[in-house]
Amino acid sequence: MSTETKTVARTEPKFGVKALVKIGMLAAVAVILMFFEIPLPFAPAFYEIDFSEVPVMVGCFAMGPLAGAVIELVKILLNFVLTGTDTAGVGELANFIIGCSLCVPAGLIYRRNRTRKNALIGMITGTVLMTVLGCVINAFVLLPTYATAFHMPVNDLIGMGTAVNPNITSLSTFVLFAVAPFNLLKGVLVSIIVFLIYKKLSPIFRMH
Protein backbone atom coordinates (compact mmCIF):
# COMPACT_ATOMS: atom_id res chain seq x y z
CA MET A 1 0.00 0.00 0.00
CA SER A 2 1.84 3.02 -1.23
CA THR A 3 1.94 6.23 0.81
CA GLU A 4 1.68 8.19 -2.43
CA THR A 5 -1.68 9.03 -3.93
CA LYS A 6 -2.29 7.20 -7.17
CA THR A 7 -5.53 7.83 -8.95
CA VAL A 8 -6.44 4.88 -11.11
CA ALA A 9 -8.97 4.27 -13.81
CA ARG A 10 -12.39 3.15 -12.65
CA THR A 11 -12.77 0.55 -15.33
CA GLU A 12 -12.05 -3.01 -14.36
CA PRO A 13 -9.12 -4.65 -16.21
CA LYS A 14 -9.94 -7.52 -18.50
CA PHE A 15 -9.19 -10.96 -17.15
CA GLY A 16 -6.46 -12.59 -19.18
CA VAL A 17 -4.84 -15.96 -18.58
CA LYS A 18 -2.43 -14.57 -15.97
CA ALA A 19 -5.25 -12.88 -14.09
CA LEU A 20 -7.31 -16.07 -14.07
CA VAL A 21 -4.33 -18.02 -12.74
CA LYS A 22 -3.89 -15.47 -9.94
CA ILE A 23 -7.60 -15.63 -9.13
CA GLY A 24 -7.39 -19.41 -9.01
CA MET A 25 -4.36 -19.30 -6.70
CA LEU A 26 -6.02 -16.92 -4.27
CA ALA A 27 -9.28 -18.90 -4.33
CA ALA A 28 -7.38 -22.12 -3.60
CA VAL A 29 -5.62 -20.51 -0.62
CA ALA A 30 -8.99 -19.21 0.60
CA VAL A 31 -10.51 -22.70 0.46
CA ILE A 32 -7.61 -24.13 2.46
CA LEU A 33 -8.02 -21.40 5.08
CA MET A 34 -11.71 -22.28 5.44
CA PHE A 35 -10.67 -25.57 7.05
CA PHE A 36 -8.82 -23.79 9.86
CA GLU A 37 -11.58 -22.49 12.12
CA ILE A 38 -11.28 -20.87 15.54
CA PRO A 39 -14.15 -21.29 18.06
CA LEU A 40 -15.31 -18.24 19.99
CA PRO A 41 -16.23 -18.20 23.69
CA PHE A 42 -19.26 -15.91 23.22
CA ALA A 43 -20.96 -17.80 20.36
CA PRO A 44 -22.23 -21.35 19.74
CA ALA A 45 -19.96 -23.90 18.08
CA PHE A 46 -21.32 -23.34 14.57
CA TYR A 47 -19.89 -19.81 14.62
CA GLU A 48 -16.15 -20.20 14.10
CA ILE A 49 -13.79 -17.65 12.60
CA ASP A 50 -11.65 -18.48 9.60
CA PHE A 51 -9.39 -16.23 7.58
CA SER A 52 -10.53 -17.19 4.07
CA GLU A 53 -11.44 -13.55 3.39
CA VAL A 54 -7.75 -12.56 3.56
CA PRO A 55 -6.93 -13.81 0.01
CA VAL A 56 -10.21 -12.32 -1.22
CA MET A 57 -9.33 -8.87 0.08
CA VAL A 58 -5.79 -9.18 -1.27
CA GLY A 59 -7.35 -9.90 -4.67
CA CYS A 60 -9.70 -6.92 -4.34
CA PHE A 61 -6.79 -4.58 -3.61
CA ALA A 62 -4.42 -6.02 -6.22
CA MET A 63 -6.80 -6.80 -9.09
CA GLY A 64 -9.94 -4.84 -8.35
CA PRO A 65 -13.28 -5.51 -6.64
CA LEU A 66 -14.67 -7.56 -9.52
CA ALA A 67 -11.72 -9.96 -9.29
CA GLY A 68 -12.26 -10.12 -5.53
CA ALA A 69 -15.91 -11.05 -6.01
CA VAL A 70 -14.86 -13.78 -8.46
CA ILE A 71 -12.35 -15.13 -5.92
CA GLU A 72 -15.10 -15.22 -3.29
CA LEU A 73 -17.42 -17.02 -5.69
CA VAL A 74 -14.81 -19.60 -6.70
CA LYS A 75 -13.98 -20.15 -3.02
CA ILE A 76 -17.63 -20.83 -2.18
CA LEU A 77 -18.08 -23.13 -5.18
CA LEU A 78 -14.92 -25.13 -4.44
CA ASN A 79 -15.93 -25.54 -0.81
CA PHE A 80 -19.39 -26.62 -1.98
CA VAL A 81 -17.81 -29.32 -4.17
CA LEU A 82 -15.50 -30.50 -1.39
CA THR A 83 -17.90 -30.48 1.56
CA GLY A 84 -21.40 -30.31 0.08
CA THR A 85 -24.27 -28.32 1.59
CA ASP A 86 -26.94 -28.78 4.24
CA THR A 87 -28.95 -25.75 3.15
CA ALA A 88 -29.62 -26.36 -0.58
CA GLY A 89 -27.15 -23.59 -1.42
CA VAL A 90 -28.88 -20.90 0.66
CA GLY A 91 -26.09 -20.81 3.24
CA GLU A 92 -23.46 -20.64 0.51
CA LEU A 93 -25.24 -17.74 -1.21
CA ALA A 94 -25.56 -15.87 2.07
CA ASN A 95 -21.87 -16.45 2.87
CA PHE A 96 -20.93 -15.15 -0.59
CA ILE A 97 -22.91 -11.95 -0.02
CA ILE A 98 -21.49 -11.45 3.47
CA GLY A 99 -17.92 -12.09 2.28
CA CYS A 100 -18.30 -9.65 -0.60
CA SER A 101 -19.76 -7.04 1.74
CA LEU A 102 -16.41 -6.93 3.54
CA CYS A 103 -13.96 -7.11 0.65
CA VAL A 104 -15.65 -5.44 -2.34
CA PRO A 105 -16.31 -2.04 -0.66
CA ALA A 106 -12.72 -2.06 0.62
CA GLY A 107 -11.48 -2.73 -2.91
CA LEU A 108 -13.71 -0.04 -4.42
CA ILE A 109 -12.45 2.61 -2.01
CA TYR A 110 -8.80 1.56 -2.26
CA ARG A 111 -8.66 1.59 -6.06
CA ARG A 112 -9.70 5.26 -6.19
CA ASN A 113 -6.45 6.27 -4.47
CA ARG A 114 -4.00 3.54 -3.56
CA THR A 115 -2.88 4.86 -0.17
CA ARG A 116 -2.68 3.41 3.32
CA LYS A 117 -5.36 5.87 4.41
CA ASN A 118 -7.78 4.72 1.73
CA ALA A 119 -6.99 1.09 2.53
CA LEU A 120 -7.91 1.71 6.17
CA ILE A 121 -11.07 3.61 5.23
CA GLY A 122 -12.04 0.78 2.88
CA MET A 123 -11.42 -1.89 5.50
CA ILE A 124 -13.39 -0.01 8.16
CA THR A 125 -16.26 0.55 5.73
CA GLY A 126 -16.26 -3.12 4.73
CA THR A 127 -16.15 -4.29 8.34
CA VAL A 128 -19.10 -2.10 9.34
CA LEU A 129 -21.09 -3.15 6.26
CA MET A 130 -20.36 -6.84 6.84
CA THR A 131 -21.38 -6.55 10.50
CA VAL A 132 -24.72 -4.89 9.67
CA LEU A 133 -25.50 -7.08 6.66
CA GLY A 134 -24.39 -10.20 8.51
CA CYS A 135 -26.85 -9.46 11.31
CA VAL A 136 -29.74 -8.99 8.88
CA ILE A 137 -28.94 -12.09 6.81
CA ASN A 138 -28.43 -14.28 9.88
CA ALA A 139 -31.68 -13.16 11.48
CA PHE A 140 -33.88 -13.50 8.42
CA VAL A 141 -32.10 -16.08 6.21
CA LEU A 142 -29.32 -18.16 7.73
CA LEU A 143 -30.72 -19.06 11.15
CA PRO A 144 -34.20 -19.99 9.83
CA THR A 145 -32.56 -21.95 6.99
CA TYR A 146 -30.27 -23.87 9.33
CA ALA A 147 -33.21 -24.58 11.64
CA THR A 148 -35.15 -26.04 8.71
CA ALA A 149 -32.14 -27.99 7.41
CA PHE A 150 -31.52 -29.66 10.77
CA HIS A 151 -35.23 -30.12 11.55
CA MET A 152 -35.26 -28.04 14.70
CA PRO A 153 -37.01 -24.84 15.78
CA VAL A 154 -35.03 -21.60 15.78
CA ASN A 155 -35.44 -21.52 19.56
CA ASP A 156 -33.19 -24.58 19.79
CA LEU A 157 -30.44 -22.66 18.00
CA ILE A 158 -31.00 -19.76 20.36
CA GLY A 159 -30.72 -22.22 23.25
CA MET A 160 -27.31 -23.30 21.95
CA GLY A 161 -26.30 -19.66 22.14
CA THR A 162 -27.69 -19.29 25.67
CA ALA A 163 -25.59 -22.27 26.78
CA VAL A 164 -22.35 -20.38 26.05
CA ASN A 165 -23.58 -16.79 26.46
CA PRO A 166 -26.31 -16.08 29.04
CA ASN A 167 -26.98 -12.71 27.41
CA ILE A 168 -28.57 -14.59 24.50
CA THR A 169 -32.26 -15.09 25.27
CA SER A 170 -33.98 -14.38 21.95
CA LEU A 171 -33.31 -14.04 18.23
CA SER A 172 -32.54 -10.34 18.61
CA THR A 173 -30.07 -10.91 21.46
CA PHE A 174 -28.53 -13.81 19.52
CA VAL A 175 -27.82 -11.42 16.68
CA LEU A 176 -26.64 -8.67 19.04
CA PHE A 177 -24.35 -10.75 21.27
CA ALA A 178 -23.15 -13.48 18.89
CA VAL A 179 -23.55 -12.56 15.22
CA ALA A 180 -22.55 -8.88 15.44
CA PRO A 181 -19.36 -9.38 17.49
CA PHE A 182 -18.48 -12.43 15.36
CA ASN A 183 -18.57 -10.42 12.11
CA LEU A 184 -16.98 -7.37 13.70
CA LEU A 185 -14.09 -9.41 15.08
CA LYS A 186 -13.62 -11.26 11.79
CA GLY A 187 -13.58 -8.01 9.82
CA VAL A 188 -11.02 -6.44 12.16
CA LEU A 189 -8.72 -9.49 12.16
CA VAL A 190 -8.87 -9.93 8.37
CA SER A 191 -8.18 -6.22 7.88
CA ILE A 192 -5.17 -6.25 10.20
CA ILE A 193 -3.65 -9.28 8.45
CA VAL A 194 -4.17 -7.81 4.98
CA PHE A 195 -2.79 -4.45 6.09
CA LEU A 196 0.37 -6.17 7.32
CA ILE A 197 0.98 -8.51 4.37
CA TYR A 198 -0.41 -6.72 1.32
CA LYS A 199 2.66 -4.64 0.48
CA LYS A 200 4.81 -7.78 0.17
CA LEU A 201 2.21 -9.69 -1.85
CA SER A 202 1.00 -6.92 -4.15
CA PRO A 203 3.83 -7.23 -6.73
CA ILE A 204 2.80 -10.86 -7.28
CA PHE A 205 -0.91 -10.32 -7.77
CA ARG A 206 -1.24 -6.75 -9.04
CA MET A 207 -2.61 -6.44 -12.58
CA HIS A 208 -0.63 -4.14 -14.86
Q: Is the pLDDT of residue 136 over 90?
A: yes
Which of the residue ranges 12-16, 104-108, 132-136, 155-159 would you say has the lowest mean pLDDT? 12-16
CATH says 17-36+44-203 is which class?
A: mainly alpha
Classify residue 82 as exposed, middle or buried by CB count within 10 Å of its CB (0-12, 13-18, 19+): exposed
Question: Count of H helices and E strands in the chain?
Answer: 9, 2
Average pLDDT, integer, range 106-110:
95
Question: Strand (E) positions, 3-148?
Answer: 38-39, 48-49
Domain limits, the chain: 17-36+44-203
Give tens-digit pLDDT for 17-32: 888 999 999 999 999 9
113: which DSSP letter? B
Give tens-digit pLDDT for 187-199: 999 999 999 999 8
| 3-class DSSP assignment, residue 49 | strand
Percentage of the chain beyond pLDDT 70 is: 91
